[in-house]
Structure 1
Amino acid sequence: MMGRFSQRSYEKEIMDDLEFEGPVLEQSLKELRTINKLLGGNKVTTTGLQHIIEKHPQEHYSIADLGCGGGDMIRVMSDWSKKKGYNCNFLGIDANRNTIDFAKDRLKDLNGVLLKTENVFDESFEQDQVDIITCTLFTHHFTDEELVRLFKSFVKKARLGIVINDLHRHRVAYFSIKVLTRFFSKSPMVQNDGPLSVLRGFSKKDLHRILRLSGLKTIQIRWFWAFRWRVIGLIL
């Protein structure tokens, strides 16, 4: 990778505005759900959960989904866990209260789901432990330094492990999502944030460096189509 793809971009996305709300937010969250499903991103998270659960069998699992957005991944994980016969409760955390309100409405038919507005960098974040932490398209929103701090807090909050599902910074991914959002998206936020999020994504080298500095025990960094990284880290 050369030029603009050689290093992570720290340019802010529209979605980083924690007060963002209204019809544009709702349209954007709906489109992101469709894009994630079509490009196969959901299985990156569920296969990571499967790995941790198989390694640590127990009767019940508490799972915190950070940057949960409209709750799409919580529904995916809830449906997946029921099919697999796993007893799971879910905690969705997002710093945008408007997004949490949207998620509460979308997930009101599900039992065993708690949603709350919280900044993961607040001191209160580490107080209540969960078994597993999941992050889907969340970690690319932060600088390397912020991620080191965040991952260190994961070690205190998660009992068993973490699953990170995020973007591979690659020119093919960038130009593909640029074309896809230009022709099929009605949301100016998705059109702007889609390509930019790829530039804020990671190389494998980036992930190794950040995780090494955080002290997290990494057991696997694996590439998935379409241009996704799955990181599984074990706490125990």
Structure 2
Amino acid sequence: MQRDIAAVEEMDGPGADPVLLERTYAQFSLVNRCVSGWRGMYVGLVRPALPRNATATILDIGCGGGDIALALLRWALADGYDVKVTGIDPDPRAHDFASRAGAAAGFGPGELEFRRAASADLVAEGMVFDVVISNHVLHHLDPPALAGVLADSQELAGALAIHSDLRRRRSALLLFGLATLPLAGTSFIRRDGLTSIRRSYTRDELARVLPPGWHAHAAGLYRNLAIWHAPRRTGR
């Protein structure tokens, strides 16, 4: 099955139905809990990279509805970290939803911040975070945009960058299609999810497009991880 780079996700269009889009952002939390595996990545990768003797900082690039940023914040706080999580997304609709979700969760700006911004904007500001992550973003990007996000991640990550994405397999299309039948017509989740799978990379394809210093890992049956570790710095 070839990668379908011409497929377009409906929610990304400027004319996307606002009701379906709102429901899509609301359903991301359920879908990501089932398929994204971030709890395991937090325990195995993110948590060991967070400092105990200073405020730990995490950046979520392309944060969408903000559910991953919120989950990472809750887990780190539960583990006793002094932590701030920042989520960025250039789409004003995503920013609006995530900001409302953060406010509803009761977190203040010292713990959680959502910004309408791209990774390049934060690089220009000279910002650095302990850990930089993204979830299901890479398959959206054309080659120049992918190279830009990866380069920005290296500038922004003081310790670790993890970009988690779908891994294209025929069985993924079948299982996701069946599992999301109850959501059909209620949001863009099912249609755009199937499009995302068709647009996503195999592990070997991802490895070929990653620059030096990055490593592609197959996580479970249906996820890829692009991981970069910052060079060890004096005093860290």
| Band the TM-score falls in, shorter-chain normalisation | 0.7 to 0.9
SS at match of 2:180: helix
* 1:93/1:117 contact within 8 Å kept: yes
Count of residue correspondences: 224
Contact 1:63–1:130 (8 Å) recurs in 2: yes
* Per-residue CA distance 1:197-234 (angstroms, 9 max, x = gap): 011112111221122xx33x235624125x11233211
Secondary structure of the 1:11 match is coil
In the other structure, the counterpart of 2:107 is 110
Q: CA deviation at 1:63?
A: 0.9
Shift of 1:116: 0.8
Give the whole-Å Cα distance in 2 for the aligned partners of 1:84 and 1:222.
Answer: 27
Q: Larger relative contact order (C-alpha < 8 A, sep ≥ 6)?
A: 1
- Residue 230 of structure 2 corresponds to residue 231 of structure 1: no
> CA contact under 8 A between 1:45 and 1:164: conserved in structure 2?
no
Gaps of 5+ in 1: none
Matched, 1:64 2:59: yes
2:162 maps to: 163
Note the alpha carbon deviations across 1:150-195, whole angstroms, 9 max, x for none: 2112111222120111101111111111222233344342222010
Whether 1:153 and 2:152 are equivalent positions in the alignment is: yes
Secondary structure of 1:232's counterpart equals: strand
Quick check: 1:135–1:163 contact (8 Å CA) kept in 2?
yes
Give TM-score, length-normalised by structure 1.
Answer: 0.85
User: For residues 84 and 133 of structure 1, what CA distance do their matches in structure 2 show?
Assistant: 19
**Any conservation in 2 of the 1:64–1:91 contact (CA below 8 Å)?**
yes
Structure 2 residue 15 is matched with structure 1 residue 16: no
Say whether the 8 Å CA contact 1:134–1:163 is kept in structure 2. yes
Within 5 Å, give how 1:1-236 maps onto structure 2.
Answer: 5-17=1-13, 20=16, 22-39=18-35, 41-46=37-42, 47-53=44-50, 58-108=53-103, 109-111=106-108, 112-120=111-119, 123-127=120-124, 128-211=127-210, 214-215=211-212, 217-218=213-214, 221-225=217-221, 227-236=222-231
RMSD over aligned CA atoms reads 2.2
Does structure 2 retain, via aligned residues, the 8 Å contact 1:140–1:200? yes
Amino acid at match of 1:28: T
- Distance in 2 between residues matched to 1:81 and 1:163, nearest whole Å: 17
How far apart are residue 51 of structure 1 and its match? 4.2
Secondary structure (helix, strand or coil) at the match of 2:165 reads strand
Counterpart Cα distance in 2 of 1:130 and 1:102: 23
Identity, % of aligned positions: 20
CA distance in 2, matches of 1:21, 1:101: 15
Q: How many angstroms does 1:13 deviate by?
A: 0.8
